[in-house]
Amino acid sequence: MKLALTLNGRPCTTEAPDHWTVLDLLRDGLSLMGTKYGCGEGVCGTCTVLADGRPIRACLVLAAHVSGRSLVTVEGLDADGRLDPLQTAFAERGAAQCGYCTPGMMLAAKALLAENPAPTAHEVREALSGNLCRCTGYTKIIEAVLAAAPGRK
């Protein structure tokens, strides 16, 4: 099956077998390894990417379903060699330990901040409610998202 989409701001034309998910397409079709495979059932959130600005589970969405849409993965967060404020905040505040959940966390947070530049801690928790972290206890992740929120400065 042929697919045409926008990937991290650039047009992307590719092919994928019918049964591939977005995660298969990203990792195995396009060699973008930033998006992780966790549970494969939509529970853990580590494969979260943005489709038209909204978070989706790459492991649950068929590749065919993102044809014509705009995808953003962790590889698309930085621009012109500069890290996204979320990446800087995660690094500076120790919000990543093993790092496996971090791409999904940052993309779920990116979608939140695009809609709500000054979220409360509660709103951050809700937005990240589908992203599991087994290292940090979440405190530093929430602090990092709040620190990166443009409307809270």
Nearer to another protein, 78 or 126 (CB): 126
Nearer to another protein, 68 or 99 (CB): 68
Quick check: 30 binds another protein (CB under 8 A)?
A: no
Helices and strands (H and E) in the chain: how many: 5, 5
Least CB distance to another protein at residue 62 (A): 6
Kindly tell me which residue out of 24, 87, 100, 148 binds another protein, with binding defined by CB under 8 A.
24
Residue 111 backbone phi and psi in degrees, to 5 = -65, -40
Nearer to another protein, 28 or 92 (CB): 28
Quick check: 61 binds another protein (CB under 8 A)?
A: yes
38/100 Cα distance (integer angstroms): 9
Quick check: 19 binds another protein (CB under 8 A)?
A: yes
Q: Which of helix, strand or coil describes residue 14?
A: strand
Residues 75-114, one symbol each (x = binds another protein by CB under 8 A, - = not), give: ---------------------------------x--x---
Q: How far is CA 104 from CA 41, 48, 151, in A?
A: 15, 5, 22
Q: Taking the CA atoms of 66, 76, 43 and 145 in sequence, report the sign of the dihedral they define.
A: negative
Quick check: 2 binds another protein (CB under 8 A)?
A: no
**DSSP H helices in 5-138:** 22-24, 85-92, 102-115, 121-127
* Triad 89, 109, 105: Cα angle to 5°: 80
Compute how many residues bind another protein; rule: CB under 8 A.
31
In the complex, which residues of this chain contact another protein (CB under 8 A)? 1, 17-21, 24, 37, 40-42, 45, 48, 51, 54-57, 59-62, 64-65, 108, 111, 126-127, 129-131
